Amino acid sequence: MGYKHVMEQPIPPRLINSQIPPYIEEAILKALAKQRNDRYKDVDAFLEALHKPPIQGKRLGFIVGTNSHPGIKRKYKPNEDSLLAAQGLVGRVPGHQPFGLFVVADGVGERACGQDASRLTIQMIVDNVLSKLVSDRTGSMDYAEILTGGIQSANQAVHQQNMDKRVDMGTTVTSALVVGSFAYVVNVGDSRTYLYREAVGLCKVTNDHSVVADLVGAGIIKPDDIYTHPKRDQIYRSLGEKAIVDVDKFTVQLREGDKLLLCSDGLWHMVRDPKIEEVIGRPVLNPPMTGDDLIQSALEGGGEDNVSVIVVQITGEVNPEIFPRVQLLAKPENVQMPSF
C-alpha cells in the first residue's frame, strides 16, 4: 500500500464510473497529486472546483504524429493496420469548433482480408463521421453518438463483406474525436487509447475486449501475465462478427499539455506501459518524433506484429480561422474522400 501511494498514479474515476462529470474527475485527481504544490491550496479551493463546472467552448489546438510499421516478423506480409488522422472545422458556420478525428484499425483475417477489413473501416468512418462533421449546419451535434454511429456503419460493412464473399475477416478499432476541450473515445477489441497527463502519468482510457483482460479483471491472473499468457491473442469482440457490435464509449476532458496515444496491440504487446509512459512523457513538443520512438521501442521489443500509433499533443487555445475546413494528415491509399 505504501509503495502504491508513493509510486503509482490513482485510477481516473471516470474509468470506474463513466457518469462522473469530467470536471469532478479533474478536481479529484488534482487533490490526489503526489506533489503538495500540485494540489489545491486548501479544502475551500477543492470544494469550489467540485461544484464549479468549467466554462465550455474552449478551443484547444493539437499537434499530430502518425506512424505504422509491418513489424520484424511480418515485414514480408501485408500490413493489416490502417490509420486515419484528419483535422478541420465543424460545420459551415463561422466560428465553429476545430476538430481532430483519429482512428487506428487493426485487421484480422487470412490472405490480406485483415487489411481489407481495416481499410473498409476507415472508409466507412470517413463517409459517416468526417462528412457529418464538415457539413454540419446546426452546431449542436452529439459527437459521441456520431462517432459510435460511424463504428456501427463500419461493422455492418465488414459483416456484409463476410456474408457476400463467404470470408472471415474483421478488425479491432479505437478512435478519438477531439472537439474543443473534450476527446470522445470509442473502442472495439484490444486496440487502445491512452491519455498522458504530466501530473497523473499514463492512463489507459479504453477497455480490452480480450480473454486475458477478463482474467485480470476476475483476479485469476496478474496484470503482467497478459503478455505471456497462452490466450493473450484471443479477443471476443471485433468488427464484422455480427450485424451489430457493442461499442465502448468514453469522454475525456482535455487540458493544455495532455497527450493522447492511439495504438494497435503491436505496440503494447511489445512495450510495457512504464516504457510507453517514459517515451510519451518526454518534454518535447514533437508528436511525430514521439511516434517514431514508440515504433522503435516495439521493434526493439521483438516486433512480432504490425505496429501503429497516433500521437496527439494538446496545445493552448487556437483561433478557428487558422484551421483548414478539412485536412487529411494520414489515410490508407485506397480510401476515397467525399467532396466537401
37 burial (CB, 10 Å; 0-12 / 13-18 / 19+) is exposed
Please state, for a pLDDT cut of 70, what percent of the chain lies above it. 94
For the chain, the domain total comes to 2
Q: Are residues 41 and 85 in the same domain?
A: no
Distance of CA 184 to the CA centre of its chain: 9
**Same-domain check for residues 44 and 130:** no
Residues 178 and 66 in one domain: yes
Q: Are 147 and 164 contained in the same domain?
A: yes
| Mean pLDDT computed over every residue of the chain | 89
Both 37 and 74 in one domain: the answer is: no
Do 134 and 164 reside in the same domain of the chain? yes
Domain containing residue 291: 57-330
- Give per-residue pLDDT as tens, 7-39: 677 888 887 887 787 778 878 888 888 777 778
Whole-number Å distance between alpha carbons of 282 and 278: 7
Residue 180 sits in a domain of what CATH number? 3.60.40.10
What is the model's pLDDT at position 14? 81
For residue 332, the one-letter residue type is: P
* Rounded-to-integer distance, Cα 145 and Cα 151, Å: 10
In this structure, the answer to whether residues 176 and 271 fall within a common structural domain is yes
pLDDT (tens digit, 9 = 90+) per residue, 180-230? 889 999 999 999 999 999 888 999 999 999 999 999 989 999 988 998 899
- Residues 103 and 48 grouped into a single domain: no
Q: Which three cell numbers stand for residue 325?
A: 475546413
Whether 12 is in a domain gets the answer no
Asked if residue 153 and residue 49 are part of one domain, the reply reads: no
Cβ atoms of residues 183 and 251 within 8 Å: yes
223 and 212 in a single domain? The answer is yes
The answer on 173 and 46 residing in a single domain is no
pLDDT digits (tens, 9 = 90+) for 253-262: 898 999 999 9
